[in-house]
Chain A
Amino acid sequence: MSVEYAVILVDSTSHALHIEKLLGSRGLACKLIPVPRHLGSDCGVCVRILKQDVQTIQTLLSEQKIVFQSIEGL
């Protein structure tokens, strides 16, 4: 079975790094990747996460008042 992913879209690379650090500290897998073309026209990066972690991460980001645009399935 292939791994299913989602991405967190953010305003800038700095925001992505902010989230990367937070998720890393909680042991949640993530990777910074270029924004997939179908999700945005931006030249920047987004944070790829495991689909199974979406709920946990959504709660964590809102608890920590972290600014992000949206979480999208891949």
Chain B
Amino acid sequence: MTTPAPLLPSAHAKDGALYLDNAATSWPKPPGVAQAMSYFLDEVGANPGRSGHRMSIEAARIVYAAREAVAALFGAPDPLRVIFGLNITDGLNLALHGLLKPGDHVITSSMEHNAVMRPLNDLQQRGVVYTRVACQADGTLYPALVEQAIRPNTRLIVLNQASNVCGTLLPVREVGRIARQKGLLYLVDTAQSAGVIPVDLEKDSIDLLAFTGHKSLYGPMGTGGLVIGPRVDPSELFTLRQGGTGSRSEREVQPDFCPDRFESGTPNAVGLAGLLAALKWLQAQGVAQIQTHKEALCAALLEGLVNIPGVIVYGPRDASRQTATVGFNIQGVEPSEVGLRLDEEHNILCRVGLHCAPAAHQTLGTFPGGCVRFSLGTFNTLADVRQAVAAVRELAGEAK
């Protein structure tokens, strides 16, 4: 008798609610993630890298394995340059505040999240200047416009790889080529792309890669950070977080080597144990296979939504040019009302509003009203998509 294959986790909660908010955080998590975290707490437990005993070394081994798994995913040559922090916002802040000095010029796009725009606007108060290159109404960016924005004092290009509002994929590789040719540093925000499409430090010419563990890497919240490429000298990157690292304890100055320079204090080792399990699962599945599955779901969702009278879908509306995140509105109905009725009447959970990205909404023409966002995960099915489309059709029909 053969053992039946384990069932994939369902994207329906115990009360039946359908979860379509994976761009905020993925749910459910793959098999093994919760168990790895529970194992860490119950069996490993000790502080990684702080003591020389067996339990501490085992904890450090798990954190190091997570570092290696992140490096492997992004084609990073040195796992010690994978810096773990609170989340991707933390990684972006380290890159932007750590690198930029008064007089520096930065180029970014009009599809950025506030995780980039808020640090940039703060830095602007201190003498850093930025240019926001305008994207098209579907979020598309022309790389030539980025090249035209380069000035003699341009130091960095920072780009969001995929929009968190409407899924538009930005031309990361093409812009990377421009950055490399012009000798500029290149920071990429992979919040919505890591684990969704292949991202590679070398092939994409990325110098600083900010990542999150809890979205499409399928790990727990509180994991993420920054991968530092070989062209960046860590000693030139300032960090606000200084303190105990478990290394060079005789010295009262911050170490200059990675990852210790940027990782003071006890890390979220429990979360990283979960992230490691998630990355092993992701590697076994293959990003390409997940991409194929989600592209098919996205195509079905787009086809369903664009054919409903009174529904406006934002972004490329082409599953090959976007992630499985779809922004839309029902004419004449506030997004907040759509969200509430999807939750209460149709048992569908999604995000509505401005999604922490006012610039992107201005680009798409949805500011300040915002939009409704369905974001699919790898555990969603075609049946889930049909349920979502039927619910929107019903709400749009009632709105007439």
Contacts and interface: CB of A to CB of B under 8 A. Distances in A.
Interface of A: 11-15, 17-18, 21, 32-35, 40-45, 67
A14 B60 contact: yes
Contacts of A67: 257
16 contacts: A11-B247, A11-B257, A13-B57, A13-B247, A15-B80, A17-B64, A18-B79, A21-B64, A21-B68, A34-B51, A42-B249, A43-B52, A43-B246, A43-B249, A44-B52, A45-B57
Nearest to B48: A13
Given A17-B64, A18-B79, A18-B80, A12 B52 contact: no
B180 interface: no
B346 interface: no
Contacts of A13: 48-49, 57, 60, 64, 246-247
Nearest to B50: A43
A44 B257 contact: no
Nearest to A10: B247
Contact of A18 (B64, B247, B248): B64
B167 interface: no
Contacts, number: 66
B248 A11 contact: yes
B255 A42 contact: no
Nearest to A45: B52
A41 B247 CA distance: 10
Interface string B44-61: 000011111100010011
Interface string B248-267: 11100001010110000000
Contacts of B51: 34, 43
Interface of B: 48-53, 57, 60-61, 64, 67-68, 79-80, 245-250, 255, 257, 259-260
Nearest to A17: B64
Contacts of A43: 50-52, 246, 249
Given A18-B79, A18-B80, A41 B249 contact: yes
B230 to A, nearest CB: 12
A14 B259 CA distance: 8
A17 B52 contact: no
Nearest to B61: A17
B64 A14 contact: yes
Contacts of A40: 250
B52 A35 contact: yes
Contacts of B246: 12-13, 43-44
Contacts of B79: 14, 18
Contacts of A18: 64, 79-80
B80 A14 contact: yes
Nearest to B67: A14
A45 B55 CA distance: 13
Contacts of A35: 52
A43 B51 CA distance: 7
Contacts of A45: 49, 52, 57, 60
A70 to B, nearest CB: 15
Contacts of B245: 12
Closest 10 CB pairs of A and B: A34-B52, A13-B49, A12-B247, A17-B64, A41-B250, A43-B249, A13-B60, A45-B52, A32-B57, A12-B260
